[in-house]
Structure 1
Amino acid sequence: MAAVVYFLCALTCATCFVLLFRSWRASGLRLLFWSALCFAGMTINNVLLVLDKLFVERDLGLPRLLMGLSALLLLLYGLVWEEE
C-alpha cells in the first residue's frame, strides 16, 4: 500500500510540473516558471523516495533532503527576487 502512495505522490508532482510549465509557456509569467521548477525538484524528490523505500538498499535520505531544499529555494527565489 505504501508503494502506491509513494507512486501517486510522484505522479501528482509530475502532473503539477507539466501543468505549470505549460501555463508558463502560454503566458510567460515568471512566477509560473519558478513554481514549475519547484515542482520538478519535488518530483525528483518523490522519485528518490520511491527508490529509497522500495528498490535501493542504501539510505537516500540526504540526497532527498538536499533535493527538497533546492526545490523550495528555487520557489523562494522566484517569490522574493523576481519582479513583475
Structure 2
Amino acid sequence: MTMADAVFLLCAVTSLACAVLLLRGYAQSRVRLLLWSSLCFAGLAVNNALLVLDKMVFPSRDLLLFRNVSGFLALALLVYGLVWDSE
C-alpha cells in the first residue's frame, strides 16, 4: 500500500464519518441543512470509495464516469438544500 492509497482510504472514512455525524445532528435538531449536508457527505463517501476501488482493487478498469456522477449528485444535493430549502 502506497501513501496515496492510504490517503484515498482515509478520505473515504473521513467523509463517511462526517455524514454520520451530520445525520446524527439532524436527528437531534431537525435542521434541514444538516440533512442535505449529510446526504452530500454520504455521496462524497461513495465517490471516495469508488476512487479506492478504481485505483486499488480494479486498476485495469476505468470508473471515472461513476466517480464523476456520484460527485455531481452529492454536490447537487447540497446545492438543492442550500438554494431551495433555505429559510
Alignment TM-score, normalising by the size of structure 1: 0.97
CA contact (8 A) 2:33 2:86 kept: no
| Superposition pairs of residues 44-83 of structure 1, within 5 angstroms | 44-56=46-58, 57-83=60-86
Question: Could you say what the CA RMSD is over the residues aligned between the two structures, in angstroms?
Answer: 0.7
Paired letter, 1:33: L
Whole-Å separation in 2 of the counterparts to 1:78 and 1:18: 18
Among 10, 16, 24, the residue aligned to 2:12? 10
Identity, % of aligned positions: 56
Paired letter, 1:40: A
Whole-Å separation in 2 of the counterparts to 1:70 and 1:47: 15
Paired letter, 1:59: D
Paired letter, 2:81: G
Displacement of 1:83 after TM fit? 3.5
Displacement of 1:2 after TM fit? 1.1
Paired letter, 1:12: T
Instruction: Could you list the structure 1 runs, at least 4 aligned residues long, displaced by more than 4 angstroms after superposition.
Output: none
Gaps of 5+ in 2: none
Task: Give the number of equivalent residue pairs.
Answer: 84
